[in-house]
């Protein structure tokens, strides 16, 4: 598999969009695995730091409504 950006051999896959990237074009970004209510109903999130990100796709900071799905 080749890097989406430079066509050199890919080393990783973007966690967010699935593009293949080489080490030179791989970036890192944190991501949420899940959200839950902790003690005293305090919202908590389980986060993984440094997941592979292609640097091209744009993970959205807020959920996007999709009313056409219903």
Task: For the chain, 70 residues long, give each residue's pLDDT as a single digit of tens.
Answer: 999 999 999 999 999 999 999 999 999 999 988 989 988 889 999 999 999 999 999 998 888 888 898 7
Q: Is 26 helix (H, G, I), strand (E, B) or coil?
A: coil
Q: Is the pTM of this model over 0.85?
A: no
* CA 29 to chain centroid: 7
The answer as to whether 65 is a domain residue is no
* CA 10 to chain centroid: 17
Domain with 19 in it = 1-56
The answer as to whether 61 is a domain residue is no
Retrieve residue 52's tokens: 């592979």
Which pLDDT belongs to residue 63? Answer: 81
Which pLDDT belongs to residue 38? Answer: 87
Which pLDDT belongs to residue 6? Answer: 97
**Count of domains observed in the chain:** 1
The answer as to whether 26 is a domain residue is yes
């Amino acid at each position: 598999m080749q890097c989406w950006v430079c066509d050199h051999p890919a080393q990783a896959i973007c966690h967010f969009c699935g593009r293949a990237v080489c080490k030179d074009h791989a970036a890192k970004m944190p991501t949420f695995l899940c959200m839950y209510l902790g003690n005293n109903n305090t919202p908590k999130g389980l986060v993984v730091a440094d997941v592979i990100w292609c640097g091209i796709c744009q993970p959205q900071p807020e959920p996007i409504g999709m009313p056409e799905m219903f």
